[in-house]
């Protein structure tokens, strides 16, 4: 990690989803030498460099999570012992979308010339949020008869 992985300043929700973690804050453990993968050899000491990313990525937090479930219930008595119970349950009542955690599998987008290698990959989603944690609103109705 070479700088702060958090973006500074106000950003829209779409911008936050597109890039939750700043990929420019990271570089491969061997450094930013593009010739490393082009001329890869296990004899190069950089091939055995681990870097310091894991101890520092624990401080990266995902988006918050909140949810509201609710229910309503009403008894309709026919007699003292016999009655209907109507129940209405709503899960994710406000239909709030909770974003998933960002992808932390390290890769970099393709190089400026469009070339790819083992680190610079097409379709790289490092630092991006690509899903949600919650289901959409769900309504459940139930009618019971007690006798």
Helices (H), 2-82: 13-18, 35-38, 53-57
Supply the pTM of this predicted model.
0.59
Closest CA to 22 of 115, 109, 84: 109
Residues 95, 113: contact at Cβ < 8 Å?
A: no
pLDDT of 37 reads 67
pLDDT of 32 reads 67
Per cent of the chain over pLDDT 90 is 30
Angle, alpha carbons 107-116-131 (nearest 5°): 40
Per cent of the chain over pLDDT 70 is 80
| pLDDT, tens only, 70-126 | 999 999 999 999 999 999 999 999 999 898 888 877 777 777 787 877 667 777 788
| pLDDT, tens only, 2-13 | 666 667 667 777
Between CA 117 and CA 126 the distance in angstroms is: 15
* DSSP letter, residue 120: B
């Amino acid at each position: 990690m070479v700088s702060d992985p958090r973006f500074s300043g106000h950003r829209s929700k779409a911008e936050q989803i597109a890039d939750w973690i700043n990929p420019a804050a990271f570089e491969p453990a061997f450094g930013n030498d593009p010739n490393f993968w082009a001329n890869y050899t296990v004899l190069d000491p950089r091939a055995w460099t681990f870097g310091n990313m894991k101890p520092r990525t624990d401080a990266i937090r995902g988006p918050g999570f909140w949810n509201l479930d609710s229910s309503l219930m009403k008894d309709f008595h026919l007699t003292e012992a016999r009655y209907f119970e109507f129940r209405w349950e709503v899960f994710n009542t406000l239909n709030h979308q909770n974003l998933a955690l960002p992808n932390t599998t390290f890769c970099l987008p393709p190089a400026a010339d469009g070339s790819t290698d083992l680190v610079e990959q097409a379709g790289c989603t490092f630092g991006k949020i690509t899903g949600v944690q919650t289901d959409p609103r769900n309504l459940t109705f139930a009618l019971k008869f007690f006798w």
